[in-house]
Amino acid sequence: MNSVSPGLVGRIWPRLRRGMVDAGLGELLLRLNVLGLVETRRKLAFQHIAPGSCGLEIGALHAPLPLPPGAHACYVDKHCVDTLRTLRADAATTLVIPDLLADGLRLHCIAAESQDFVIANHLLEHAQDTLGTLCNWLHVLRPGGTLFIAVPIGARCFDRGRPLTTNEHFLADYELTLAGDTAAMRQRNLAHVEEHLAISAPAIAALQGQSWVPPGDGERQRLITHFLDHNPEQIHHHVFSRTSLGELLHLLCRVVGGACRVERVAASRVEALAIVRRLR
């Protein structure tokens, strides 16, 4: 029996999947984790974000979340569009222009309980204090509001080979940050930077078709100082799977005393997604 070539499957499957979605089988494909990234995001957004609602999307870059009819997002980013075009030259012509320049991990300039939704795709892995960041996002949601999160699956991106971050690690980061122990947090973040330089940076270079030359002592120290003190959000501090994202969010519910509920944890091929509802 002749085998079917992977190339043929790769050409047919997207068309077949689209037909199955149009036939009303999108939920089945979602449960089987075989729905495409864009389709997964769209389906979850239309299920959990209310039509006509208003909220924030942080760090949309070139891939803003599709929203249901009448829903409106204010786009938040730390950088202006000219800086973003420099940082993301691969997507410079399709970048979303930010409406608000602010630190999206903290949202200090956003009033409490003022938003119907907060969208943060591929941002949480950059946070040093992950639980604290999630609390900041919940803080600006109205009761009943939706937190929409997506993170890369570590085993399916350039973080492959890095260990998954545990709930014990997230909780220790949160408690140290609350205590203001910057020295301890800096030491913990140093381990993340070293993982990045040993595993993620060579993989990123390979994806870009570049050869990786391990930095010498002087350049290595410069990079460590840069990632620790000047631009810590440039690297992935934490690594996720679908299961570990769900475990983190259930920990969040306990940390905030039941003020939120995890409504959905799902995955496409390369990312894990979750919906969290603020209750009060």
Question: Residue 5 above 70 pLDDT?
Answer: no
Under DSSP, the state recorded for 128 is S
Task: Read off the pLDDT band of 93 (50, 70, 90).
Answer: confident
Question: Residue 35 above 90 pLDDT?
Answer: no
Q: Where are the domains of the chain?
A: 36-280
Mean pLDDT of 86-109: 92
Mean pLDDT of 251-255: 98
The mean of the pLDDT values for the chain is 92
Helix (H) or strand (E) run with residue 117 in it:
strand 115-121
pTM over 0.95: no
- Say which residue, 86 or 9, is predicted with more confidence: 86
Helix (H) or strand (E) run with residue 224 in it:
helix 217-225
| Percent over 70 (pLDDT), the chain | 89
Question: Residue 33 above 80 pLDDT?
Answer: no
What is 146-199 written as a DSSP string? EEEEEEEBGGGSTTTTSPPPPHHHHHHHHHHHHTT-HHHHHHHHHHHHHHIIII
Task: Read off the pLDDT band of 21 (50, 70, 90).
Answer: low
| Percent over 90 (pLDDT), the chain | 83
Class of domain 36-280: alpha beta
d(CA 109, CA 112): 9
Strands 100-101 and 115-121: unpaired
Q: Per-residue pLDDT tens for 58-68?
A: 999 999 999 99
Question: Residue 262 above 70 pLDDT?
Answer: yes
d(CA 186, CA 124): 18
- List the Cα angle 48/150/58 in 5-degree steps: 85
pLDDT at 1: 43
Question: Residue 20 above 90 pLDDT?
Answer: no
